[in-house]
Structure 1
Amino acid sequence: EPGRRIDLLLEAARDASGRLADEEAIGHYRRALAIASGTPDAPEGPGREPDLRRSALIGLDLAGQLRHVGERAEARRLLDQVVARARELDEPELLARVAITLYRDGFLSDHDASTKDLLAEAHRRITGKEGQDGLSDDRLAQELTIHIMAVARRGSDDEALAFSLWARHDSVWGIGSAVERLALTDELTVVGRRTGHQDMELHAAAMRWVALLELGDPAFLDQYRTFARLAELTELPWFALGAAVDAGLIASLQGRFAEATAALEDDALSLDGCDRATFGFMGHHLHWALHLLRGHFAEAEEVLRGLRGSGYPCPGLLEAVTAVEQGDAAPALRLIAEHADRPAPYPRAYLPLWLRLLAQTAALTGDPRLIARAEDELTPYTGQWIVSLSGCDISGPVDLWLGMLAAARDDRDAAAAALIEAAASSDRLGARPWAVRSRLHLAQVLLARGGADDEARRLLHDVAREAGELALDHWASEAAAALRTASAPASAGPPQNRAENRAADRTDDRPTEPTDSTKPTESTRPTDSTEPTESVTPAAPAAHAEFRRNGPVWQLGWGGVTVHVPDAKGLRDLHSLLGLPGTDVPAVRLLAPEGGELVLAAGQLGGDPVLDDEAKRRYKQHLDRLDAAMDRAAARDDARQVEAYDRERQALLDELRTAAGLGGRARRLGDQTERARKTVTARIRDTLRKLDPLHPALAAHLRASVTTGTTCAYRPDPTPDWQL
């Protein structure tokens, strides 16, 4: 039966493609196309009624296989035939699939005018809307994929559903889309298992670890291992190659450079060329990215010289990134000027790398307009990572670049907070090179800000040591230069930027190993209990005991070591307790310190209803007084007092909402006390856990001296002289 023959040929074509047997796959697709089209050379002969719709879909698959081997002219002719067939059949959904296929073909390059016109035509036919030609290619494709997904689900068409899910995945690719892509890969996994398409499940597993990495989720490593195990079970060279490439990417991310180099030695990624055109230039990119991360700039530039002849779509972007990494912003500034009028200067796959270049150039030049532009682009994605090219380019945590931008505009508190988070995120992923870089910039910020020179020098020694272990000589040299600057007379001043740092450090001097006095001490692990334990002895009070907040950053000093950590509610709780040594502080007060004595009294009344008539009256009176006080403060332009009254008012309103309970039921006051106990205990415990690796001695002292529960207290022996 012809339909069954086509099914078998398509299955054979997918199998051959997985084995990298491209010519065999193309042959199977051609035979399937001949049968569906009813051509004279079909096995059934010319008399069979053609299946024009199926022949169009097979033509899309064949064109994709031809593009893989670099036969773009034949692929384009075939796609033109498919477009004509879709119009002949007057099927808007088929026309949309053709348009989206052409759009996905331009994932790594710009779309030509005919693709844009076809997307607009398909969008008009599908939606019935006129005047949408001004929409971007991405917007048109995204709306089309949503429609095709809906149609596929209504018709229970798994093949169409799989196509639309992948199309949606590619059309939304970019920074900030990882959560949606995770959901798409979940559904693709289900469809792949239901239809027996193992390659679909494998591809979804590969894209899933990339999305988790973008979110800064350490689970990405387990997901990669899942993909690698599945790839090994299939014994298909295509997925074995993918697993090897991914292993190299992760090894590079984590600083295992020998493993990364070995992974890139696969013949399919050889710089001498490859049967699959995409792999040919992607091999160049992977080698370039590895050299750049290691600071091997001469080798990176050598790879760049071969880019233009490899068909690589964006060589100028990589050349600008390479230059700015070495302190030369001129190529990047030219590129930014060239694209000044383009909202999306590069294909979606490259846009995250473009944002990295924009941020790095702004930080290097200190241009206020570029800094503002870069911060506007990146701030919504704090906590995430910059990943391009389906995972083949990892440009570090967003907070690293935000920290550098804040430093460039002299907001050193914000810079320190962002860089602390960048280092912590890198640590969570095991990304040692990026952790080294984040801590180096953090140390430079602390030196520039002043008041934490000891902490900065400790960080620089750590950076020098770890950079030496990883053979990151460029960062080791920069740390050495910063250490010399920190030890020089104050009048010398620190270099203003990395370019000056490197100019000041042209020697091959390697930093000395940190001494015992500068090495971090062994961290004391947190216990499950919040009560003091006999196994931890409080450290003796030190001359330097500091627990002060400066905007979004806390400066914590103990035993001669100072660290800076980002603001957290647990730090505020501890600060309140340190200011009242030996005093039992109700957890309710710590939970809502702005609410004053009224909130505290409400939390201590036991099991009576929270909102009896008297309580309601007192709340209303207090809110009325606050409103009047806010009006008076506003009349005299006292913005600080207005903010203080507003915080207190908000705390009272929060308590009112809490007291209402679920469904409007009156909540008992005992519930509020218990909630405060659990919340404050969890906040303090989490803060101490995060403090362990940063300042283990201080964490141990606080854990031994602070008790939590319905009431909390700080009872040291003896009491240090805290600077609060």
Structure 2
Amino acid sequence: MAAVDDARTCGDRAALTEALHLAQHCLLGPAHLDLRLRLGEELLAVAGATMDSFDERRGLLWRTTNLYLAGDPHADRAMNLLRGALDAEPHLAMAYALSAMEVMCAIRAGSLVRAEELAETSADLGRRAGDHDVLGWYGAHLTTIRFFQGRAAELLPILGDLIASPELSEPNDAFLGAMATAASMAGDTWAATTALSRLRRPSLRKLRHNSLWLVTLYGAALAARHLNDAEAAAEIHDLLAPFAELPAMASFAVTCLGSMHFALAATALTLGRTDDGVTRYRAALAANEALGHRPAHVLAEAALADALARTGQSNEALLHRDKARAEADILGMSGWIESWDAAEAAGRPPGPTTPGGWTPGRQRPRDAATAVGVDAPTGRASCVRFGVGWRVRVGDREASIPDSLGMRYLATLVSNPGAVVAALALAGRQVGGHASDATSAQGVIDEQARHAYRARILALESQADEAEAEGRADDAERARSELAWLLEEISRATGINGHDRTFPTDAERARSSVQKAIHRALVRIREVDPAIGEHFAATVSTGTSCSYRPL
């Protein structure tokens, strides 16, 4: 702010507009909302005085962002003004920010399938703009969509990759909060507890007060409720209470989870304050209605029904429960409906913050991947690339799986059902269009070179396997490329002592590496959806030749 004051007094309007723009980036936490609104309006005023169309568009972008983050009813009007300005004079980076907010608006409207399509289009636009936030924003979009669909369990592998990703513009605590919530909802208590503990080390009060702060604590609040962690709930409640009237949003208003009253209601119930929880859920209902956030409104209805049932107000509880179910059916929130049905069948009160084994979404807990009796869906599968992962479908089931070398191999097999594909062809080593065992005869090398080659080969294989397991596809490809080059050099080498060193052939190495990669991909699929995993276990064969034969 001292730099902004200097820019105001120096008489250089270009310096002032840049300072006003950068200051808002530094003040994206909710505590600075009023100051940021004033700075944004000042930026617009300075741009208008100088007739600078670039700064005017930046000012409109900030106004739109700030009004959405404030939950202001005029935010939609500001977005239309921004859209009109960009239509008249395009700017790729600003268009990307606008497209990300349009995904958020689609989520609020309950158009979840449409929102996912817009998210993929937005991510493509961001990549063209060279924006460093593409992975984080797309991850936020997908996480929010799956949460409202009741399919949070699908996110566990993706969230794990995002938390550790070096591609994010900064360490992203919000994905830790999302992991805590998704894991607790999926019944993975260990992963949920670990994520919440990482957020609280040394204290939630130490979290950076930035554009991700609200959504991070929102996720922590729901996780604390599922885990019945009263100590965490008390800390979260005190931190969030001053921001109860704000929507839970992230970054440049790219995603919205609904009213913060919802998270505060969850912490109140965890602390045994049932009446306060009921009051907060009623406030969340009203706030989500004002925001036009239909999926969040549905979850508030269901949660209020749960809280009312706990206080003995069964008639009103039934009314809200029926409303939630009917609206969820309209919006395609099928995972939640299935969870409510399962909870009722088990004699548990069905509400989205019910702790103790309730698993929102059609997915089973992670350890169910080893369970028996999981029916494999029939029909032909499809693997479609989207964003940072793959959408895998079999019958009426669908799962989101992170990208990996094994998923690419699997997608190739699935796109050629019934075909027998050589592992060497899958691995990309072909001669004249046909898989070829190019190293059936090895040269001779001396003993010292033999040990050196062996050590390097083992190191490269280990690097490639580790990179694939961690989702670092580029690093895995580099290791595989060096390994292929090394094997080619060995095949032509002649030693000085006449000792032959018989290395496995390219075909054998391809068989081993492809088999391992596909196996890791199938493990991940099974973790997300055991039934889809069973389908592939029954239909995919690997070896020197591989195939996918639908049931």
- The verdict on a shared fold, with TM-score over 0.5 as the criterion, is yes
AA aligned to 1:364 is: H
Q: CA deviation at 1:495?
A: 9.0
- The alignment partner of 1:216 has SS state of coil
Correspondence 1:223 to 2:78: yes
Q: Which residue of 2 aligns with 1:384?
A: 246
Over 3 Å counting, the alpha-carbon distance change for 1:249 and 1:291 in structure 2 is same
Over 3 Å counting, the alpha-carbon distance change for 1:256 and 1:276 in structure 2 is same
How far apart, in 1, do the equivalents of 2:112 and 2:5 lie? 45
2:299 to 415, 432, 437: 437
AA aligned to 2:121 is: D
Over 3 Å counting, the alpha-carbon distance change for 1:305 and 1:391 in structure 2 is same
How far apart, in 2, do the equivalents of 1:154 and 1:271 lie? 36
How far apart, in 1, do the equivalents of 2:82 and 2:105 lie? 13
How far apart, in 2, do the equivalents of 1:230 and 1:156 lie? 27
- The alignment partner of 1:395 has SS state of strand
Q: Which residue of 1 aligns with 2:277?
A: 415
Q: In the TM superposition, what whole-angstrom CA distance separates every residue of 1:483-538 from its partner, at most 9, and x where no partner exists?
A: 667xx7xxx88899634463599899xxxxxxxxxxxxxxxxxxxxxxxxxxxxxx
Q: CA deviation at 1:453?
A: 0.7
Q: Which residue of 1 aligns with 2:229?
A: 367
- The alignment partner of 1:227 has SS state of helix
AA aligned to 1:502 is: W
Q: In the TM superposition, what whole-angstrom CA distance separates every residue of 1:36-74 from its partner, at most 9, and x where no partner exists?
A: xxxxxxxxxxxxxxxxxxxxxxxxxxxxxxxxxxxxxxx
Identity %: 20
User: Which structure's relative contact order is higher, taking Cα pairs within 8 Å and 6+ residues apart?
Assistant: 2
Whether the 8 Å CA contact 2:249–2:257 is kept in 1: the answer is yes
Correspondence 1:234 to 2:89: yes
Over 3 Å counting, the alpha-carbon distance change for 1:232 and 1:377 in structure 2 is same
AA aligned to 1:374 is: I
How far apart, in 1, do the equivalents of 2:247 and 2:39 lie? 19
Query: Which consecutive residues of structure 2, in runs of 5 or more, have no partner in the other structure?
Result: 365-551
1:36-75 map, 5 Å:
none
Whether the 8 Å CA contact 2:144–2:257 is kept in 1: the answer is no
Q: Which residue of 2 aligns with 1:132?
A: none
Correspondence 1:152 to 2:4: no
Q: Which residue of 2 aligns with 1:296?
A: 151
Query: Which consecutive residues of structure 1, in runs of 5 or more, have no partner in the other structure?
Result: 1-145, 509-724
Q: How many aligned positions are there?
A: 357
Q: CA deviation at 1:374?
A: 0.8
Q: Which residue of 2 aligns with 1:11?
A: none
How far apart, in 2, do the equivalents of 1:344 and 1:270 lie? 34
1:250 to 105, 115, 133: 105
Q: Which residue of 1 aligns with 2:167?
A: 311
Correspondence 1:185 to 2:34: no
How far apart, in 2, do the equivalents of 1:475 and 1:281 lie? 26
1:519-530 map, 5 Å:
none
Correspondence 1:202 to 2:57: yes
2:121 to 245, 266, 277: 266
Correspondence 1:502 to 2:363: no
AA aligned to 1:333 is: T
Q: CA deviation at 1:311?
A: 0.9
Correspondence 1:320 to 2:320: no
Q: Which has the larger radius of gyration?
A: 1
1:242-641 map, 5 Å:
242-266=97-121, 268-269=123-124, 275-297=130-152, 299-301=154-156, 303-304=158-159, 307=162, 308=164, 311-312=167-168, 313-314=171-172, 316-338=176-198, 339-341=200-202, 343-346=205-208, 348-450=210-312, 452-481=313-342, 498-500=354-356, 502=358
1:654-693 map, 5 Å:
none
AA aligned to 1:454 is: N
Over 3 Å counting, the alpha-carbon distance change for 1:332 and 1:174 in structure 2 is farther
Q: CA deviation at 1:417?
A: 0.9
Q: CA deviation at 1:398?
A: 1.0
Q: In the TM superposition, what whole-angstrom CA distance separates every residue of 1:312-342 from its partner, at most 9, and x where no partner exists?
A: 2335454334323435453343244344225
Cα RMSD, aligned residues only = 3.2
AA aligned to 1:191 is: V
- The alignment partner of 1:340 has SS state of coil
How far apart, in 2, do the equivalents of 1:444 and 1:238 lie? 44
Correspondence 1:175 to 2:35: no
How far apart, in 1, do the equivalents of 2:361 and 2:109 lie? 27
Over 3 Å counting, the alpha-carbon distance change for 1:320 and 1:507 in structure 2 is closer
Q: In the TM superposition, what whole-angstrom CA distance separates every residue of 1:683-715 from its partner, at most 9, and x where no partner exists?
A: xxxxxxxxxxxxxxxxxxxxxxxxxxxxxxxxx
1:12-27 map, 5 Å:
none
Over 3 Å counting, the alpha-carbon distance change for 1:505 and 1:232 in structure 2 is closer
Q: CA deviation at 1:481?
A: 4.9
Whether the 8 Å CA contact 1:400–1:419 is kept in 2: the answer is yes
Q: CA deviation at 1:214?
A: 3.0
Whether the 8 Å CA contact 1:375–1:402 is kept in 2: the answer is yes
Q: In the TM superposition, what whole-angstrom CA distance separates every residue of 1:438-474 from its partner, at most 9, and x where no partner exists?
A: 1111000000110x21111111111000000111113
How far apart, in 1, do the equivalents of 2:55 and 2:110 lie? 31
- The alignment partner of 1:177 has SS state of helix
How far apart, in 1, do the equivalents of 2:90 and 2:220 lie? 42
How far apart, in 2, do the equivalents of 1:317 and 1:503 lie? 18
Whether the 8 Å CA contact 1:175–1:386 is kept in 2: the answer is no
Structure 1 residues 331-340 or 493-502, which shifts more? 493-502
Over 3 Å counting, the alpha-carbon distance change for 1:246 and 1:475 in structure 2 is same
Structure 1 residues 284-293 or 301-310, which shifts more? 301-310
Q: CA deviation at 1:287?
A: 2.7
Q: Which residue of 1 aligns with 2:67?
A: 212
Whether the 8 Å CA contact 1:386–1:397 is kept in 2: the answer is yes
